[in-house]
Structure 1
C-alpha cells in the first residue's frame, strides 16, 4: 500500500467518478500521530471523533465545491476504501466533506489549525 499523497503531475487514477462522489487519498499524517510525550498513536486507536485530512484524486461531474488536488477534511468513520493500481483510496460523497483547506498568502501550508 502506498501512503504518500499522489503526485499532482502524475496521471489520474484509472477510474471516472460519478455524481457527487470523490476519490481521496489519505494524508500520511492521518495514518498515525505522536502524543506530546512522544508515544506513537496508530490510526486504529479510538480517540473520540477525530477528523482526517485527504487529497482529492478524482471527482464526479456533480461535485460543485471541491476540485481535484484540494485538501479536504472528513470523518474517517464514514468511509469505504478501494485499491487502484496498488494505491489505497477512500470513496466519499461531497456532503461528507466538512471543509476544504485554503493556502495562506505565501502559498504554503493550509492556514487551518484544528
Structure 2
C-alpha cells in the first residue's frame, strides 16, 4: 500500500489516478440536466487527483484536473472506480493551493 496516498497501489512515472466528479453531468443555467446523448461537440471532464506518480510535476493530490474522457483507462480498486492518466493527458489544473487575493499566474 502507498503510505502517502493510502491507495493499495504505488503509481509509477508520470501516472495520475483520478476519481471523476459525480457532478460532471451537464446542466442548463436553470438546473435542467442535459443528457450525454444531447452532446454536440467533444467535451472534457473534471476529476480529482487521488494519487500521483513520482515524475508528475504540475499536479498534486487533491487538485481538480481537466482531461479528455477518450484518453482514459479505468481501474477498479477495492470497489471504487478510478481513471488512470498520464500527466501529458491533463489539459488544466484547478488547484486550491492559490491563496485568496492572488492570481495564481507566474510571469
TM-score computed with the length of structure 1 as normaliser? 0.71
The equivalent position to 1:92 in structure 2, one of 60, 79, 85, is 85
**Superposed CA RMSD:** 2.2
Long gaps (5+) in structure 2: 102-107
The structural deviation recorded for 1:41 is 3.0
Unpaired runs of 5+ residues, structure 1, are 1-10, 107-114
After superposition, the Cα gap between the structure-2 partners of 1:37 and 1:49, relative to the gap in structure 1 and judged at 3 Å, is same
Partner in structure 1 of residue 100 of structure 2? 105
Which residue number corresponds to residue 9 of structure 2? Answer: 15
Shift of 1:47: 3.1
How many residues align? The count is 96
Q: Quick one: distance in 2 between partners of 1:43 and 1:21?
A: 28
Q: Which has the larger radius of gyration?
A: 2
Partner deviation per Cα, 1:39-65 (whole Å, 9 max, x = no partner): 533446543111111000111111111
Contact 1:21 1:63 in 2 (8 A): yes
- TM-score w.r.t. the length of structure 2 is 0.76
Kept in 2, the 8 Å contact 1:12–1:57? The answer is no
1:47 corresponds in structure 2 to 40
Aligned equivalents of 2:95, 2:72: Cα separation in 1: 23
